[in-house]
Chains A and B, each alone.
Chain A
C-alpha cells in the first residue's frame, strides 16, 4: 500500500509572475496571469508521515518569509485552467531527489526501494482560451517525451484540486539474456538491423541496431566459428561499438581511388602529423585524437584540453534535456582525459531555424508527432546548456547562434569543454593512463536505468512517447559535479586509479571494452551494476546511457581507499568486474556468461567499406540590383539580421565569470557587442590565458565546400589573433555535421571540405587536436498535406580554436575607445559575396565565396600579433559574417562612440562594405602609435579615418552612411529583445 501525500509550495507574492506571463504572451497565448506552484509528491510504502511530520517537511521546502505550503489541500486561487506538468516514469527528477535527501537527513531515515519524492509544476492560468489553445499552451510548458500533463478547468479542479502525480516505474518480469539466430535471409537481416531484435515478451522490436546486412553476416560468421549463436547482449554490444557514432565509418573508410586510407587519416590526422613534424621542438600538442579530448601545452607545468561534441538528435526531440546532456557529456570528456582534467570553460553553438517561423512538419502521417518549433528548440537548448554549465560551476563565455530554415527539421547543438591539468604530479604523467590486468572495474556516479538505450544507434522512430520508460536522458549536473570534484580535485592526485574514461554513447559496453584495450581484456558482472529500478535485462544494463557515470581502473591495493573517499563524498561507486589480459570481453549475468567476444573482433572486426563520391559544382543566379544611393538603411537592416545581431540574452544567462578567470568576456565595451573570441585565465597567478574562438560558414558549403572549410579555419584563427594570441600557440578542432552521407554527392562535398581542412591547417601550422562527426542530419517526415518532406541541414563544419595568450594584460578588446583614435582596416577587400549575409538580405546566394591566400594571411597575422603584444593597438575586431560595414558598426557600438571614415574608390560601395573577404581586421590605435603600427603592419593597414562624435559616417565618392551610433545599437539589439 503506497501512502501518497502532496505538498504544494507557492510564493505569497511571486516575483517572476510578470516576466513569466509576458514571455507566454509574446508567444501568442491570451494569458492574463500564469501562476506557478511547485508540487512535491511523497510516495512511501514502508511508513506513512503524520500531519505534523508533513508540516516539518513543508517547512524544509520553503522560505517562510516569501513562500507558503499546503499539505494534501489544493490552493484556492482565482484561475480558469490548471495545467500540471510532471515527469514520465523513469525520467530523472533532480528536485525530487534533493527533496528526498533533505527529508532523509532531517528524519535520519532512508527511503526504501520504490519510495520517492516526485516533483511537478502546477500552472494556474487566468485567461480565456479554447481547448486547442490550452493544449498548445500545455505543449509549450511541457515536452511529451519527458513530461506527463494533466489539464483541468476550474470546475474540474473544484475543491479537490489536482490528482497526485506518482510516476513510478513498474517492471515485473526479470528478463535474462537470450540467443539470437542470425541465419536469416537478407530481407530479415535488414529488418533486424533497422528495427532491432524481437523482444521475447512483448513480441515487439527493441529499436535499431543500425547494423547493415553485411555487418550482421560478419557477426554471424564470427559466431559460427565459435560454434554457437550470439546472445542479444553480444549483438547489442557490437552494434554500439560498431556504430557510426563510435567508429566514424564514413571518415574511416576508403573513398574513391585517391583516398584509400579514408578522409580522417588522409586529411585530418595527416595535417596534424605534418604540422607536428614541421614544428619539431615547438610542437604544442600533447595528446591528439587518442583520448577523450585533445590537449596542448599551456606552460611548463600545465596542459589544456579541448573537445567539442554535438547532440543533435536528442535536442530535436527534447531540446532542454538534449542540450543539457550534451554539455555535461562533453564535461566528462574532460574529466575522462588522461587521469582527469578539471573542466574550466564551456562553449556552445546552435544552428536552428528562424525562431519567428513555425513550420508545419510532422514525423508521422496525418499530422502526427509534429516537430518542435524553432523557437521552442532555441529556448530549450539555450536553457539546457545554461543549466549544465551554471550548476557545474564551469564558465560559459564563448558561443554563437546561426539561423537557417534548413535547420528547422533537425537543429545542430554543439557543446565543448576546455580542461586544465598539471602535466605531472609526483613523477606521474597525468595525461597518460593504462589499465592493468588485475585492476578492478569501477563504475562511479549515477545509477543505471533504461534512459538513453540505443543512444548511439539513435533514430527518431525509436522513440515512442507511449513507452513506459523513455529513451530520453535528463542530466543531473549536481551528481556529476560531486563526481567531478572528487576525481579531479582529490582522487587523481592521490593516485588511486590507473585509468578513467567517460560513460557516454553505449554506456559501460563501450567504456569498459575501450579501456580493456589498455590491458587486453575485461570480465564484468552485470548483477553488480547499481540500478535505478529492478527489472532491467542484461543487454539494457550493458548499453544504457544513463548519465553522470565514469568507469575507472582501480588497483586492488587502492580499492579500499578509493571506495572510502567516494563514500565520504556521497558519490556512488561499485566494483563491477576486473580488467584481464585474456584478450576477451567477458560479461556475466546471474552466474552465466552472456558475452564472450574477442577484443580484436569487437574493436577491429567491422567490415571495411569503400565509399564512392561525386561532385558537381552548383551555380546560383547572381543579383543584378544597383547599389543604393545611401547605405544607412541597408546597414541598419544588416545589423538586424538574426545572424549578425546581438544574442546577448544567451550570454548573460550563462555564468561566464565563475572560477574567477574572466578576462575578455562574451560581450564587450560600453555598448555590449558580442565578441568572436574570449579570453579566460585558467591558472590563478599565471600571466597566460586561454583564448577561444570559432568559425562556421554553412551558407558557403553548397557553393564551395573547400572554401567553406577555409573560411571556418581562417575565422576561428583570426578571432584569436585579434585578441593577441600568437598563431604558433593555436590548435583547432573539427566538427562535421553533414547530411545524407550515403549519397555520393554529399560525400563529394565532404571530401572537398576535408581536403580544405588539410590545406589550410597545414598552411597556417595549426594542428587539429580533436574532432567529431555527425553524418546524417536529415529530417524525413510529412507536411500538413501528407506530402513526404525531407529537409537536410546544409553541410556544416564548425572549426573551434584554442590558443594560449602569453600575457593577458596585453589582450585587446573589440570596442573603439577614445575619440581621435585612428581607424584601419587591415587586409584586402575583394568582391566576394557568394553566400554572404548581404546577398541573403537581397534574396540571393551568388557564386563567389571568399578565397584565402594563406601565405599572405599568415604573415599578416604575425604582424598583428607583434603590434598587439607591443601594445600599439587600442581595439581589434575580425571582419566576418556581414563584412566590413557591420564590423565597423559593431566596433563603434561597442565603444558607444562615432567614426568618420572615407573609403577608397574601387569596389561598388555596398560590395565593399558587405563583402566577406577573409583575413581582415578592423583596428583602432592611439594616433601617437601611427608610425610604429604602420611600420609593423605595413601596406596591409589601410587608414579609413578617425574615432569621433556620436555618429558613424562613411564617405566614398559621396556620403554613404551617416547614422547615430545609438540608432545602430538599437538595430543591433532589436531582434532578440524580449527573449
Chain B
C-alpha cells in the first residue's frame, strides 16, 4: 500500500475493528480518496477489484461496509452505472443479498449511486430490488463539475449532526427522476437524505446551478427503505480538508481577521464519521 502520512493537525479517530470493502475496476476511479477519508474517520478498508470477488479471492462477508465509489465505470456506456450494475447482478447477486441481510451498510457515491440505482438497492421498498429511480443525463447535456451545497432532508444515521455539506459534483448523469408514486413514498418514508440548496440553506427549487443537474425536488441522495443503503451524487470525500473547499481562501482570510483558529478539516468529515460511528 502507499505510504500513509497524515498532516499533524488532522486528527485521526481511533480505528474500529470493522473493515470496509471499496469496490474497484472497469473505470471506478475514486477508490483511493475514499479509502483515505474512511481511514481519517477511523475505519480501515480494502480496495477490491470486482473480479476478485467474483473469483472468490475476497468475500463480502468479511466486511461491514460496502462502498461503491465514484468513477466512470465502463465509460458510462449504456447509461451511467448500468454496465457495472449488470456485472454485479449477473455475478454477485446472492452474495450481495446475504450482505444486506446482515447488520451492514452500503454507500454509493456518484457512479456508486448510479450503480445502486440500477441494482435497485435504493429505494428497495419492501425489500424489493426493482429499478424505481433513474439518474438521467444532466439537463445541461454534459458533465458538470462544481461545488454545491447540500442539506439533510431526513434525520437518519447518515445525516446525523450535519448542518450542511459543501462539496463538488462531477457527473454527466445525476439528474434524479422517479414517478410521482415513488416520490410520494420516498417522502412518506423519509428516504430523501440530502437535497441541493442555496448557501443559506434555502431550497434550490430546481434553479441552476444550485441544483446542478435538474434533479427532481433537488434530490441529491436517498436511502433504502431500511435506511442501510445510501446513494449520493456529490462527492464529500473530495473535500475532506478546509483547503479542498472552493472558497477556502476567503473563509481562511475571514477567520484570520476575526482571530479564529483556522481548522484543517472541512465540516464534510461529519458525514464519514457518522458512517463509522454506526459500527462503534
Binding site for B on A (CB under 8 A): 11, 15-16, 18-20, 23, 60-67, 94-95, 97-99, 101-102, 105-106, 301, 383, 386, 390-393, 422, 476-478, 481-482, 485, 568-570, 651-665, 668-670, 681, 683-687, 808-809, 811-813, 815, 817-818, 871, 874-875, 895, 926
Contacts and interface: CB of A to CB of B under 8 A. Distances in A.
B106 to A, nearest CB: 19
A364 B41 CA distance: 64
Interface in B1-16: 2-7, 10
A721 B172 CA distance: 35
Interface string B128-150: 00011110111111111110000
Contact of B36 (A665, A684, A812): A684
B108 interface: no
Given A15-B139, A63-B82, A481-B29, A105 B7 contact: no
A476 B27 CA distance: 11
Contacts of A818: 253-254, 257
21 contacts: A61-B82, A65-B133, A98-B74, A105-B87, A386-B142, A392-B29, A393-B29, A478-B27, A569-B25, A652-B146, A656-B145, A658-B30, A658-B70, A659-B33, A683-B5, A808-B243, A809-B262, A817-B250, A818-B254, A818-B257, A926-B257
A162 to B, nearest CB: 20
A897 to B, nearest CB: 11
Given A65-B131, A393-B71, A684-B36, A101 B83 contact: yes
Nearest to B55: A568
Given A105-B90, A652-B145, A66 B70 contact: no
B163 to A, nearest CB: 21
B72 interface: yes
A98 B90 contact: no
B7 A662 contact: no
B274 interface: no
Contact of A15 (B2, B175, B179): B175
A11 B136 CA distance: 9
A855 to B, nearest CB: 31
The winner among A65, A99, A656, A683 for most chain B CB atoms within 10 A is: A65
Given A63-B79, A66-B177, A655 B170 contact: yes
Contacts of B133: 65
A926 B254 CA distance: 10
B143 A653 contact: yes
A208 B205 CA distance: 59
Contacts of B262: 809
A206 B91 CA distance: 47
Given A659-B33, A663-B244, A65 B170 contact: no
The winner among A651, A659, A895 for most chain B CB atoms within 10 A is: A659
Contact of B91 (A67, A97, A105, A392): A105
Contact of A815 (B30, B136, B243, B249): B249
B89 to A, nearest CB: 9
A15 B136 contact: yes
Contacts of A683: 5
A669 B246 CA distance: 8
B93 interface: no
Contacts of B256: 871, 926
A301 B78 CA distance: 42
B239 to A, nearest CB: 7
Contacts of A64: 131
The winner among A101, A656, A670, A812 for most chain B CB atoms within 10 A is: A101
A204 B54 CA distance: 51
A659 B168 CA distance: 12
A106 B49 contact: no
Contacts of A569: 25, 49, 51
A106 B139 contact: no
A655 B76 CA distance: 15
Nearest to A926: B257
Contacts of B2: 422
Contacts of A61: 78-79, 82
Nearest to A95: B77
Cβ-closest 9 pairs across A and B: A393-B29, A660-B33, A98-B77, A813-B249, A655-B170, A657-B168, A19-B141, A66-B134, A685-B5
A660 B237 contact: yes
The winner among B6, B136, B240, B253 for most chain A CB atoms within 10 A is: B253
Contacts of A815: 249-250
Given A20-B141, A106-B86, A392-B29, A660 B238 contact: yes
The winner among B36, B75, B144, B170 for most chain A CB atoms within 10 A is: B75
B177 A15 contact: yes
Contacts of B211: none
Contacts of B74: 98, 101, 478
A386 B171 CA distance: 12
A925 to B, nearest CB: 10
Contacts, number: 213
A764 B32 CA distance: 37
Contacts of A662: 168, 238-239, 244
A194 to B, nearest CB: 39
A685 B4 contact: yes
B72 A390 contact: yes
Contact of B72 (A101, A106, A391): A391
A397 to B, nearest CB: 10
A926 B24 CA distance: 47
A103 to B, nearest CB: 9
Contacts of A476: 75
Contact of B79 (A62, A106, A661, A669): A62
Contacts of A485: 24-25
B247 interface: yes
A393 B34 CA distance: 13
A63 B253 contact: no
B29 A102 contact: no
B62 interface: no
B8 to A, nearest CB: 9
Contacts of A926: 253, 256-257
Contacts of A809: 242-243, 252, 262, 264
B117 to A, nearest CB: 8
Contact of B49 (A15, A568, A808): A568
A665 B170 CA distance: 14
Contacts of B83: 98, 101-102
A15 B137 contact: yes
Nearest to B177: A66
Given A102-B83, A685-B36, 8 more contacts: A478-B27, A485-B25, A568-B51, A653-B144, A658-B70, A684-B33, A686-B5, A871-B256
A370 to B, nearest CB: 27
Contact of B249 (A65, A681, A812): A812
B256 to A, nearest CB: 8
Interface string B207-241: 00000001000000000000000000001011110
A657 B238 contact: yes
Contacts of A651: 145
Contacts of B253: 817-818, 874, 926
Nearest to A809: B243
Interface in B90-119: 90-91, 117-118
Contacts of A661: 244
B87 A16 contact: no
Contacts of B179: 65
A23 B264 CA distance: 43
A662 B178 CA distance: 33
B155 interface: no
Contacts of B237: 660
Given A15-B137, A19-B140, A569-B49, A99 B243 contact: no
Contact of B78 (A102, A393, A654, A670): A102
A655 B51 contact: no
A94 B72 contact: no
The winner among A67, A422, A478 for most chain B CB atoms within 10 A is: A478
Given A393-B72, A686-B7, A98 B78 contact: yes
